[in-house]
Amino acid sequence: MKVSAVRDGRVISSGQVTAQFWAPGRDPEHDPEARQDPDHAAPCAYDPRTRRWLALVSTAGWLPGTWTVRGLVEEDVAGSAWGTFPLAG
């Protein structure tokens, strides 16, 4: 998983970034209660070569379907971005 974190046109390269994952059928982007309980989460490490935050995540045992992912930046002012990805069975 690759997460970009930018504020005011500058790449954020320090702080804490987490990739959070919700199983198919859940909609945390539009259901605030679901946001409190991701199915999986992984810390990200900053890679200066790609200027991205990276998390290596094993999807073994995860349900097939469309997963929702949020890159969560916890810094002075927290921010996040949503995405989805398909997972074959």
Per the structure, the complete domain to which residue 29 belongs is given by 2-75
pLDDT digits (tens, 9 = 90+) for 34-62: 999 999 999 999 999 998 899 999 999 99
Record the pTM: 0.86
Position 3 scores a pLDDT of 76
With 80 as the cut, is the pLDDT of residue 7 above it? no
Q: Does any domain span residue 80?
A: no
CB contact at 8 A, 11 and 51: yes
Q: Does any domain span residue 89?
A: no
Q: Does any domain span residue 68?
A: yes
Q: Does any domain span residue 9?
A: yes
Q: Does any domain span residue 83?
A: no
What mean pLDDT is reported for the chain?
89
Report how many domains make up the chain.
Answer: 1
CB contact at 8 A, 17 and 72: yes
Q: Does any domain span residue 86?
A: no
